Structure formats: structure tokens, C-alpha cells
Amino acid sequence: MGDVRVEYLAHTSGARVQTLLEHLEGTAELAERFGAAFGSGDFARMTALAHDLGKYSSAFQCRLRGDPGRVDHSTFGAQAVRTVGGLIPAYCVSGHHGGLTDSGGTADTGDEPTLYGRLRRKGLPDCGAYQNEITLSAAKPWRC
């Protein structure tokens, strides 16, 4: 009996279906190309790979298959990328749909809507399956 491969989806729109791996790799390639223009291609790639890691949760996959509930898919990615890239990519990932929040401060709790609050948020859905498809590697720091 062989390994069962689960295909995680990023988008569904009528007949158009895109796997999460295709979406993350395609976005990362574009970001790397754009970032290379100012010496930050690897940093942009790392950030792009993390931007939708929260879509690896079963809750988000159910949403794509018709469950009407809302799912926060950016907080998990922000937390994951912070461990390898720091606050700037975490900020980018956390705000990639709703816009950049107030950063808040180190005393913020996980209940606050600030960046620091989201980085401390507990009880997020399990998205660890991303590690079967995506590797987040530290990148050179962003620079001007």
C-alpha cells in the first residue's frame, strides 16, 4: 500500500481549481523576480511561500468545498515566517488581505488585533501539513 497524497486547494472558482502548492510556488517565483530588482529576491520568495500557509488547515479546505464559515488563513503563516524571517515578512503575511495592522507592542495578548497580538494568538487550526510540501528557509534580510 503506497502513501496517500492529499491535495490541498488554494482557490476554486467554477471549473478553475488551483492547488495550494501550485499557488504558493507561482506566487513565490513572481515575488522572487520582483524582489530581485532591489536585491531581495530570496526574502520576497520566503514571504510569498508563507502568505497562504493557513490554507493547509482542514477548516479552510472545508470552506473551499462549500462551508460558509470564515477562516483566518494569514495568522498561521505570519507566525511561521516570523521564526525564520522576523517581523517584516510576518507583517506582510498577516496583512496580505486585510491590510497592515497597527504593530502594537510586546505586551499585547493574543486577543488583540495588532501584529504582536496575532503573533501571540493561540488555538489556530493545525496547518502543519505545509511541511510536506513547503520549506521556509531563512533569507537575507530585506534591504533598500
Q: Which H or E run includes 132? A: none
Q: Rounded CA gap, 139 and 44, in Å?
A: 9
Cell of 51: 502568505
Express each pLDDT in 29-70 by its tens digit. 999 999 999 999 999 999 999 999 999 999 999 998 889 988
Higher pLDDT, residue 130 or 15: 130
Sorting pLDDT into bands at 50, 70 and 90, what band is 5?
A: low
Q: What is the pLDDT of residues 61-94, one digit of tens each?
A: 999 888 998 899 999 999 999 999 999 999 999 9
Whether the per-residue pLDDT at 110 is higher than 60: the answer is yes
Quickly state the pLDDT bin for 14 (edges 50, 70, 90): confident
* 61: CB partners within 8 A, 6+ apart: 8, 9, 55
Angle of helix 75-85 versus helix 87-94 axis, rounded to 10? 160
**Number of residues assigned to the chain:** 144
Contact 63, 54 (CB under 8 A): no
In 4-135, the DSSP E strands lie at 9-13, 16-19
pTM of the model: 0.88
pLDDT of the residue at 131: 95
Mean residue pLDDT of the chain comes to 90
Is the confidence at residue 113, as pLDDT, over 80? Answer: yes
pLDDT at 115 over 60: yes
* Distances, alpha carbon 129 to alpha carbons 21, 33, 47, 120, in Å: 11, 27, 18, 21
pLDDT higher than 70, residue 4:
no
Burial of 6 (0-12, 13-18, 19+ CB in 10 A): exposed
